[in-house]
Structures are given as C-alpha cells and as structure tokens.
Structure 1
Amino acid sequence: MLKQNQFDVIIVGGSYAGLSAGMSLGRSFRKVLIIDNGKPCNEQTPHSHNFLTQDRKTPKEISELSKNQVLEYKTVEFHQGKAIEAKKIQNGFEVITENGEKFNSKKIIIATGIVDEIPNIKGFKESWGISLIHCPYCHGYEFQNKKTGIIANGERGFHIASLVNNLTTDITIFTRGKADFTEEQFQKLEKNNIKIIETEIEELKHQNGNVESLILSDGKVLNFEAVYGAFPFKQHSDIPESLGCEMTEMGHIKIDQFQKTNVAGLLACGDNSSPMRSVASAVYTGNLAGAMVNAELVNDNF
C-alpha cells in the first residue's frame, strides 16, 4: 500500500532499466516510485544471454530477482499499473495511471521500452523472441552453424548479415520486395555466398515458436532453423513525446551522454533511447540515469 503520492523520483517502467535506476536511487535514500504494468517486450524469450552472472537465466528470473533486491531499499516503492499520462507541474511532474491514480515527483525517469511492429504474417508473433530473433549478440551463439534466414533489407539487412556470417555459413536474406543494397553491398554478399530472395513471405511454420520453414507467396517452402528479423518499432509509451521529448531519426528518445533528454528533470534509459537492445545495456543506462537524477537532486538542494 502506498503511503504517499509525493516522491523525489518517479520511474515509469519497471523492467531492467527502471529497476536499475531504482536501485541506484534507493542507495542514495531517495523516495522513489516505480510504476510498471508487468508486460515486458521479452516475456516470450526463453533465455537471456550476454549478461555476466545471469547468462542462460529466463528474463522473468532476472526481473523477479532484481525487483526483490531493489525493494529491499525502504525508500523505493513499486506500483503495479500502467502510467498513461504525465505533465509538468510546479516543481516537478504529475503522473496519472489508467486507474486515475495521481503521483507527483521532482524528477522523472522514462524506462518504458519499445514495441516491435511485427508483420501480420502467420507464425511471426508466436515465434518472435524464440527462433525469430533480433540480435546476434543476444541469441546468435545458440544458433551457430544453423541454416539461417534474415528478414530485412537495405543497410539493416546488410549489417545483420555481416554479423551472422561469423556464426554460420548458410545465410539467406529475405527482402520481401526489391532488394535495396548498394553495388558494393551486393558484391560483398555474393562474395560471402549469402543468398537474396525478394519474394514475399506467406507463413513461418514452427513448433512452439521454433521455426521449421518459411512458406513464400509463390508456394515455395524453404527449411530454416533460425530467422533474424529487423522490423519497425514504436515507443511503448507516448508520455515522452507528450512531455516534449525530442526523438532521433530512428525513433528513439534523444538523450545526451548522461541519459538526459531536452526536457529539464526528465531522463530516459533502456531500449526507448538506445539501439543497443540487451539486458546489460538496459541495466547500465538505468544505473547511469539514477546516478544523474541523484546528482540533479543534490545540486538542487545542497
């Protein structure tokens, strides 16, 4: 039960970045409220990788352990719910949840992440994060030497192919339309025996999210064991934009090297403000955001 509605800092988003920021602030005795609706973007992912001490644990295991540790700091509170609105008020911010609850704070950290806009193709949603994956660093090791597809085009497709080429020698890029590579990129892809198919994908056949084949619109069925996908995304919350945060060309919240946005007193961390989508990166940026907010509070009051 919340004892108050006035905090030093409200953190919107309670996954890895938000919890990391909360720990940093809790250790400085700041009154912190973390608001989270319990729907992380990686809840379908079987295991997390490339994070020291937590390799091969499930995302839920890491999240639950993190939350328990953060809440050991008595000045940190956790509120289960969805923040749908925030506005600037005198001396800070007001955050409103979908249930109409209102909480005030001097500073605010946005750690709401992003939402992948998965194509409405049969089998994609069910396989996303399991064998239809986004990151060679997070998942590539587990799919080494597998027959691998890449659903992407242009610079993004070329970049993924260059990384995956170190993990397997059997790669096919599906551009789902006319291939958009430079002449130099075409030459490098050909040199590395990376095939390109422009035909649209009709379905991803799978067993419990584990890919078996891709069915193309021309009826061809091609077997694969792993598929990388680079899809558009949107911000998980419209709160940053409503508060006046600038965005990058890619769609991330624009921040400086200290996780600060262009809005005074508002910081962002995690996937919503970085193309580096990993647990390790989220924890780091959250830790930094917490430290920087604490520094602002010190400067305001010392």
Structure 2
Amino acid sequence: MQERTTFDVIIIGGSYAGLSAAMCLGRALRQVLVLDMGQPCNRQTPHSHNFLTQDGETPAAIAQKARAQVQAYSNVSFRNDAALQVTGQNRDFTVTTASGSILKASKLIFATGIRDLMPPIKGFSECWGISVLHCPYCHGYEVSGKEFGILANGEMAFELVKLLQNWSKKLTLLTKGPHTLTPEQERQLQHYQVAVEEKEVAEFVHDQGQLQQVTFQDGSTRKLTTVFARLPFEQHCPLPQALGCALAASGHLQVDAFQRTTVPGIYAAGDAISKLRGVSAAVAQGTAAGAFVNKDLIDERF
C-alpha cells in the first residue's frame, strides 16, 4: 500500500511534547505524521521526576510507553526521518525529509527541543544529566545534603547559589577563572559560607558518568560527586528560524498563549519554547499545542 504523503498536521520531533500533541490530534481524528530521529536531550538521564504516576521512571521507559499508546491511533503515523527543508505557508506546507520524502501538511508543530552547548571540559558531557545536573526540581531531592559544585559565574552563579541552598548548605562555586560577582554578592556568599573556587577547571573525573572529583588546571583536585550547571543553548532544529519564527530574548521560540509561533500555521511545544524542561511540562505543552491546532483547523474550515 502506498504511504500517505498528505496530512492535516506534521509534528517534527517525537519526544514527550511531540507524542503528547500527536495523541491529542489523533483523538481529534486528524491525519498526523510524527518525524523523529530518536535522540531526546535527556537520553543520558537515569530517572525522571515531578511527573505524577511516573516519578522515578526512566525517560526512555516513559517515551516507549507513550509511543505505544499513541500508535494505537491508526490515524497517527511515525517515520524515523529528519525534516531537512520546509516551504509553503499556512494550510499548504511542504516538508522535505532526509530520506527524500516530499510531504504536505496544513499545519506544523515543532517539538524539536534545544541543544545544550557543552563547555570544553574533559568528562563534562559524559556526566551531563547523570551527576552534572541542570535542575534541582528534577534531581535535587536525590542528592540533597551533599556538597554541590556550581559551575557558573556572575549573576547566574549568585542566583544558582540562592536556589540550591534549599537542597544543600555545602556549596562550592566553580567560576572557571576570576569571579565576576559584585562586592555585595561576594559578602553574601561569605556569610553563607559558600566557597568560591576561581581556578580553571581541567577535567571532571568520573566513572560511567558518575562524577568523582574535579581536577583543576594547576593539578589540584576537589572531591565532588554532584555539580549543577546552567549551559548556553541553541535551538536543536534551525528550520523554525529559517521560516521566520521569532525567538524570545531567552533564545526560545516565541509563542503566544495558543502555542502559535510568529508564523501562521506553525506551532511549537516543549523545551524549544520553555525554560521548564521537565517531562511533565513538555507533555502539558504538547497537549495544548494539539488542541489549539485542532481548534484552528476547525475555525478555518467551518
């Protein structure tokens, strides 16, 4: 049987937000295609938290179960393929994929996430999501009371110190060179006995992603098993920007209250639009995107 090439909605990105949008649209009887290459940003993370009924489950297990449930809707299909180019406009988009497929859709949802830009520190990327962490709400409970390293400087470092004091009073700030704290911030860190280490970091020594110690450029070391870091990032997929979708000042795709980007017919959900990077937040945004897309399809055709 010939594969369908025309859809009501093509969802680019099939992790939690994309799967949630696909389920919502599948239940709305829409013809939906999900394009995904199976590389979610949390693929190294051992456990997911703050998601009712799934607390402590592995992200991979949540995604596997979600995909199986979405596949139960015969009007939703999946392709292990990447979108390379998008042309057209609202109600008439053409998506060209890496495999050479030419696909048509009335609406597009980008659930493509962001790409964290790793610092050039040996061992850092291997520890990312395992023992080098981005979010205390996701992982702070499990490491509470331990000594935390905080890889940051300046205003971001000060804000992370304030936040992380809720989970541990034993904090070491790793500024990777001279700190840029204000005198008042420095006084407050001294008051709360936060150590400030200004040496350049050479390596995160680890065992299969479990941090053991931080080695500095001068050869000295500090025993740390948990480090929190806020990394710069970029949009994982360049297509929304190429199509004219605006970015917010934060670097996320700009959307309105209905998950619409600044380009008619293009919507977005998940990490690509939000600082809230938990699985539950992505699922909620995906459901909203699916519902609003369906509503716009109804309004345009009624």
- What whole-Å deviation, never above 9, does each CA across 1:266-290 have from its counterpart, x for those lacking one? 1110001111111011011111111
Q: CA RMSD in A?
A: 1.3
Q: How does 1:1-302 map to 2 (within 5 A)?
A: 3-89=3-89, 91-302=91-302
| Equivalent position SS for 2:296 | helix
Contact map agreement 2:90 2:266 (CA 8 A) in 1: no
How far apart in 2 are the matches of 1:63 and 1:139? Answer: 19
Cα offsets for 1:117-169 (capped at 9, x unmatched): 11121111111110011110111111111111010122322222212111111
- Structure 1 residues 206, 12: CA separation in 2 closer, same or farther (over 3 Å shift)? same
Specify the SS of the correspondent of 1:106. strand
Deviation of 1:89 (Å): 4.5
Q: Using the alignment, how far apart are the partners of 2:150 and 2:36 within structure 1? A: 33
Return the TM-score normalized by structure 2.
Answer: 0.97
Residues 84 and 237 in structure 1, CA contact (< 8 A), matched pair in contact too: no
Identity %: 45
C-alpha separation in 2, matches of 1:255 and 1:263: 10
Cα offsets for 1:23-54 (capped at 9, x unmatched) = 11111101110000011111111111111111
Q: Given the two structures, how large is their TM-score scaled by the length of structure 1?
A: 0.97
SS of the residue 2:288 aligns to: helix
Question: Could you say what secondary structure the match of 1:34 adopts?
Answer: strand
Which deviates the most, 84-93 or 58-67?
84-93
Cα distance in 1, alignment partners of residues 2 and 231 from structure 2: 39
For residue 180 of structure 1, report the CA deviation from its aligned partner: 2.4
* CA spacing shift, 1:184–1:289, aligned 2, 3 Å: farther
- Displacement of 1:189 after TM fit? 2.1
Instruction: Tell me the distance in 2 between the aligned counterparts of 1:225 and 1:179.
Output: 22
Deviation string, structure 1 residues 147-203 (Cα, Å, up to 9, x no partner):
110101223222222121111111011111232233333233222211212211000
In the TM superposition, residue 97 of structure 1 has moved relative to its aligned partner by 1.1
**8 Å Cα contact 2:107/2:293 also seen in 1:** yes
Post-superposition shift, 1:87? Answer: 1.6
Task: After TM superposition, give the deviation of residue 95 of structure 1 in Å.
Answer: 1.2
User: Which piece of structure 1 moves more, 242-251 or 105-114?
Assistant: 242-251
Distance of 1:122 and 1:2 partners within structure 2: 49
SS in 2 for 1:30: coil
* Length, aligned pairs only: 302
Q: Give 3-state SS (helix, strand or coil) of 2:157's partner.
A: helix
Counterpart CA distance in 2 for 1:273 and 1:28 is 24
Deviates more, 1:218-227 or 1:186-195: 186-195
* Amino acid aligned to 2:18: G
